[in-house]
Amino acid sequence: MEDLETAEPATDAERVERGPRRLSLVAGVAIVVIAVDQFTKWLAVRDLTDRPVHLLWTFQLNLLRNTGAAFSMGNGKGVGPWISVLALFVVAGLSFGYTSRLKLGAVATGLIAGGAIGNLLDRAFRGDAGFMGGAVIDFIDAKWWPVFNIADASIVVGALLLAAAALRAERIA
């Protein structure tokens, strides 16, 4: 008689459900996002302090320091650091969730994690107000959208990919 634990899963849903979580992929994507985000913020602080740099159409590089939450909401209210910490708890939950067994879900989770950690690093270490008293460095300015950074873009793209992964996982199940 065949052992049920060692038998090959019969369906895609069983393969995904039993498959390993892709935590190394989550971590790898997050590390790349953090590195690119922090490097571009370092360049922005170094090169954009005096003036914005026009790129194309309405796009420019313009240095801003965001002490609020996403898109500068909640400036001066002290909510920014707590949003970042909350995001890390959400990422931890996603990392151990069903979608982290799919490559798309793992990449999405890595993008969200890297973006959240990148912005949290800014809040922790980029300021004179002590630990977690710093501001997030924003520098990508379309003029018709709030100024953002690589971490913000990674979080948004990751959220969209996570929704696609969730729909795919639902379709498989």
pLDDT for the residue 167: 83
User: CA–CA separation, 71 vs 78, rounded Å?
Assistant: 14
Domain spans in the chain, listed from the N-terminal domain onward: 21-172
User: CA–CA separation, 16 vs 171, rounded Å?
Assistant: 12
Active site residues: 138, 152
The contacts of residue 18 (CB under 8 Å, 6+ apart) are 9
Residues 52 and 60 sit within 8 Å (Cβ to Cβ): yes
pLDDT for the residue 1: 45
pLDDT for the residue 148: 93
Q: Which tokens sit at 101?
A: 């067994």
pLDDT for the residue 37: 98
pLDDT lower than 70: segments of the chain: 1-21, 69-81, 84, 94-96, 98-99, 129-133, 169-173
User: CA–CA separation, 146 vs 163, rounded Å?
Assistant: 23
Encode burial over 54-89: b for 16+ CB neighbours within 10 A, e otherwise: eeeeeebbbbbebbbbbebebeeeeebbebbeebee
Under DSSP, the state recorded for 9 is P
User: CA–CA separation, 30 vs 109, rounded Å?
Assistant: 8
pLDDT for the residue 59: 92
